[in-house]
């Protein structure tokens, strides 16, 4: 019995040591040499990088001071609240060193060594260069200090424990740096750095397992954003010119970015240089497209199509046209649209119920938008009109079911 207990104790100690090592590997950033942060050029570069990473969006609740933290980020495990990134000495990052800030980005550890939740996407930020981390830190230190204590996370047990987080990190997190590929062009490598690192595109455009870890993040094969019921589509193989236009203007000749992506364009991508947007588009176009998934569900019944056609004529045709052709520089065409035929049709339901506007950008300062119909159309009405749109003008897609509309209606913003 004593030998068995000793063996079990040795095994537990070995597991604890392995868990500790897996969570501190790559932790050398805390030993980095001091760096001067008072350069105006470094601060300006950091401001640009903060926009590229869309940092303000998550770290600024509505109506609050920029970067003061406290915005709730819903997850399947509870709500994570963003931290105060202003240079307040007590509640922000004013007492941090550049090395401690690098460690937070590269290894997901706070100043005191506490493990950070991956709602802060350090699994992407680990690829950011040390120089860019320093520039971001210099920019943040130049912001007005805001005394705003960090709000405790509201996570369920055991996800609220450091032990559970340490196990998750041991399983799914690997610190590293972006490594340029010699066989690729400078544009491709720059685009990959922005997409995989600062842009953290995989946070939405990669599917996740039951524990919230991304599956094959580099493929960007798309998936439903947890709890928001917006479909982040696959990004691979899209035409580079269209992608660059969408990221800069929020719209292109045949598409518009709505929902969460409109916020990304508003606060982030429209402010990037044309060369960076082009590089991102070049990288995305090069990714291998996955095989198109087979449509799930039955074709709509004739009665549903007839009902949908009547609703379309009453509420939709005035803007989108009798044949779904849209209006140039105003309303994107529905006929031939990839977005209309995607499965699941969650985005269509969100737009019809909650309405949507593209971002206001320099290239499209007064975007035309979609009014909400949540109070005018029943679940059956929404299912019927979307089933009609998804099967008109040469489209062939599965019927939208009223139960799906009911399920997705609960996440529509008022």
> 179-201, pLDDT tens digit by residue?
999 999 999 999 999 999 999 99
365-371 contacts at long range (C-beta below 8 A, 24 or more positions apart): 367/250, 367/251, 367/256, 368/319, 368/330, 368/331, 370/258
CB contact at 8 A, 326 and 317: no
Q: Which of 373, 369, 348 is nearest to 360 (CA)?
A: 369
Tokens standing for 368? 């035309």
Res 21: pLDDT: 47
- Pairing relation of β-strands 223-224 and 154-155? unpaired
186-286 fold: Cytochrome Bc1 Complex; Chain D, domain 2 (1.10.760)
Res 383: pLDDT: 97
* Residues of the chain scoring pLDDT < 70: 1-35, 290-296, 411-414
DSSP notation for 287-335: SPPPPPPPP-SPPPPHHHHHHHHHHHHHHTHHHH-TTS--BTTTB---T
CB contact at 8 A, 131 and 138: no
- Give CATH 1.10.760.10 domain extents, the chain: 186-286, 302-409
Torsion over CA: 318, 374, 402, 381 (sign): negative
Q: Count Cβ atoms below 10 Å from residue 337 Cβ, excluding itself.
A: 19
Tokens standing for 395? 């489209």
CB contact at 8 A, 147 and 197: no
Which class in CATH covers the domain with range 302-409?
A: mainly alpha
Query: 394 in helix, strand or coil?
Result: coil
H/E element, 155: strand 154-155
């Amino acid at each position: 019995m004593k030998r068995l207990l000793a063996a079990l104790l040795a095994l537990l100690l070995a597991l604890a040591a392995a868990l500790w090592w897996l969570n501190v590997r790559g932790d050398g950033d805390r030993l980095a040499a001091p760096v001067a942060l008072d350069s105006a050029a470094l601060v300006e570069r950091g401001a640009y990088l903060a926009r590229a990473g869309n940092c303000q969006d998550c770290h600024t609740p509505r109506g609050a001071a920029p970067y003061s933290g406290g915005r709730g980020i819903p997850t399947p495990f509870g709500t994570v609240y963003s931290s105060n990134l202003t240079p307040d000495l007590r509640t922000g990052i004013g007492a941090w060193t550049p090395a401690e800030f690098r460690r937070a980005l590269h290894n997901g550890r706070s100043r005191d060594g506490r493990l950070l939740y991956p709602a802060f996407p350090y699994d992407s930020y680990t690829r950011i260069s040390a120089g860019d981390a320093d520039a971001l830190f210099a920019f943040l230190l130049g912001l007005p200090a805001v005394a705003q204590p960090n709000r405790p996370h509201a996570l369920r047990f055991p996800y609220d424990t450091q032990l559970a987080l340490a196990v998750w990190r041991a399983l799914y997190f690997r610190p590293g740096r972006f490594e340029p590929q010699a066989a690729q062009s400078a544009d491709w490598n720059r685009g990959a750095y922005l997409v995989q690192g600062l842009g953290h595109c995989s946070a939405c455009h990669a599917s996740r397992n039951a524990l919230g870890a991304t599956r094959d993040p580099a493929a960007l094969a798309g998936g439903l954003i947890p709890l928001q019921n917006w479909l982040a589509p696959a990004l691979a193989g899209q035409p580079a010119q269209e992608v660059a236009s969408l990221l800069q203007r929020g719209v292109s000749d045949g598409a518009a970015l709505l929902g969460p992506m409109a916020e990304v364009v508003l606060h982030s991508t429209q402010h990037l240089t044309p060369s960076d947007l082009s590089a991102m588009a070049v990288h995305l176009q090069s990714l291998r497209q996955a095989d198109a998934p087979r449509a799930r569900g039955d074709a709509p019944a004739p009665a549903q199509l007839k009902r949908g056609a009547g609703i379309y004529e009453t509420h939709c045709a005035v803007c989108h046209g009798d044949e779904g052709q849209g209006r140039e520089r105003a309303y994107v065409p529905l006929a031939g649209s990839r977005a209309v035929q995607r499965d699941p049709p969650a985005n269509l339901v969100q737009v019809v119920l909650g309405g949507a506007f593209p971002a206001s950008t320099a290239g499209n300062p007064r975007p035309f938008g979609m009014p909400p119909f949540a109070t005018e159309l029943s679940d059956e009405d929404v299912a019927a009109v979307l089933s009609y749109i998804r099967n008109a003008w040469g489209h062939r897609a599965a019927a939208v079911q009223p139960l799906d509309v009911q399920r997705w209606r609960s996440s529509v913003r008022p």
